[in-house]
């Protein structure tokens, strides 16, 4: 797999592992270094960010996993998409508003915080999802359709495709898990 996604995959593997060490793209990341607050220059495509003090942290420190695909498989799916797993206490200011952060996929420099997430399946290793997300330049929330296939970050940058019946199931699930009518 060549192209920009290869660099994104390498960056999500910030946790010490033999795979990180063998990856030349990740050679600048010291295996011993586990910085509490992320350096903007090493910002992975997904991180945890406080909605109040804006401190940023890596997945390993906050959720004990390497990145977003592992978080889906090891936290969201086993929890039955319980929305409470998406918010954590901030290690810096202690406010309970630490959420997954990422960047708007088609506009640079707009940060997003993940508010809600629901998904279907898993269908073998495929989990299509709908995320409700809050841009840092808007009071509105937006809906982002994406997927994970296995432990790869690849599908997180691509739109998931749903049938009419699956959309109905997904919207019903969103209403149930968030307690909000949808759409």
Residues that bind Zn ion (CB under 5 A): 50, 52-53, 90, 92-93
When the beta carbons of 58 and 70 are compared against Zn ion, the nearer one is: 58
What is the per-residue DSSP string for 109-142? T-EEEEEEEEE---BTTEEEEEEEEEETT-SS-E
When the beta carbons of 88 and 177 are compared against Zn ion, the nearer one is: 88
**Smallest distance from the beta carbon of 90 to Zn ion, in angstroms?**
3
CB atoms within 10 A of CB 147: 20
**Smallest distance from the beta carbon of 52 to Zn ion, in angstroms?**
5
**Smallest distance from the beta carbon of 34 to Zn ion, in angstroms?**
19
CA gap 73, 112 in Å, rounded? 21
**Smallest distance from the beta carbon of 93 to Zn ion, in angstroms?**
3
**Smallest distance from the beta carbon of 131 to Zn ion, in angstroms?**
22
Chain centroid to CA 46: how far?
Answer: 5
If you ran DSSP here, which 8-state letter would residue 88 be given?
Answer: B
Tokens read off for 99? 């959420």
When the beta carbons of 93 and 175 are compared against Zn ion, the nearer one is: 93
When the beta carbons of 99 and 149 are compared against Zn ion, the nearer one is: 99
CA gap 75, 87 in Å, rounded? 12
Tokens read off for 118? 């629901």
CB atoms within 10 A of CB 58: 24
When the beta carbons of 101 and 128 are compared against Zn ion, the nearer one is: 101
CA gap 48, 90 in Å, rounded? 9
């Amino acid at each position: 797999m060549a192209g920009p996604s290869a660099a994104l995959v390498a960056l999500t593997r910030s946790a010490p592992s033999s795979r990180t060490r063998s990856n030349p793209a990740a050679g600048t990341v010291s295996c011993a270094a586990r910085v509490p607050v992320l350096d903007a220059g090493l910002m992975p495509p997904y991180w945890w960010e406080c909605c109040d003090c804006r401190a940023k942290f890596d997945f390993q420190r906050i959720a004990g996993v390497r990145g977003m695909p592992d978080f889906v498989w090891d936290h969201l799916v086993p929890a039955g998409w319980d929305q409470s797993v998406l918010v954590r206490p901030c290690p810096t200011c202690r406010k309970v508003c630490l959420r997954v952060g990422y960047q708007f996929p088609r506009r640079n420099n707009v940060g997003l915080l993940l508010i809600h997430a629901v998904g279907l399946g898993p269908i073998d290793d495929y989990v299509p999802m709908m995320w409700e997300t809050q841009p840092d330049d808007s009071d509105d929330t937006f809906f982002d359709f994406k997927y994970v296939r296995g432990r790869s970050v690849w599908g997180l940058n691509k739109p998931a495709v749903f049938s009419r019946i699956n959309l109905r199931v997904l919207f019903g699930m969103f209403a149930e898990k968030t307690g909000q009518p949808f759409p």
